[in-house]
Amino acid sequence: MLLPTIKAYIAEILVKEYSFSQLRTARILNMKQSAVNYIVTGKRRVKYHDILEKSTELKNLVREVIERINNTSTFDPCEVCNKITSNSTLYTSIMSSLGITQTSIKCSHISR
């Protein structure tokens, strides 16, 4: 559920702020170039975008991931999951926002 939102947010920032091409961004994030285009042009708004926008802590985590992508041109979705699940406050806040009441969820990229 949350990972596609995070990837869309990352894609938008890589293209708009870091001048990555849509194709390069798509390859790094394992997305289709057309999906990156829809995100960047505003034709598609990803579900749960508001959760990301409201959470300064989550946005900071995503910014760290973006910096790593900028430096290495690699993206590891498990890194995002591990950072979220290792921060109990952030994890609880996100799960609550998503309406998920389970106390533990295996990675699976934050409940696809």
Q: In the structure encoding, which two tokens stand for residue 69, read together?
A: 């992508």
- Tell me the per-residue pLDDT of 78-97, one tens digit each, with 9 for 90 and over: 888 888 888 888 888 877 77
Q: What number of CA atoms fall less than 13 Å from residue 94's CA on the CB side?
A: 29
- Tell me the per-residue pLDDT of 26-37, one tens digit each, with 9 for 90 and over: 999 999 999 999
Given a cut of 60, whether residue 107 has pLDDT beyond it is no
- Tell me the per-residue pLDDT of 43-77, one tens digit each, with 9 for 90 and over: 877 677 777 777 888 888 889 999 999 999 999 99
Q: In the structure encoding, which two tokens stand for residue 52, read together?
A: 């990301």
User: Which residues contact residue 25 at a Cβ distance below 8 angstroms, ignoring those fewer than 6 apart?
Assistant: 11, 14, 15, 31, 36
Residue 52: predicted pLDDT: 75
Rounded to an integer, what distance in angstroms lies between the CA atom of residue 47 and that of residue 56?
18
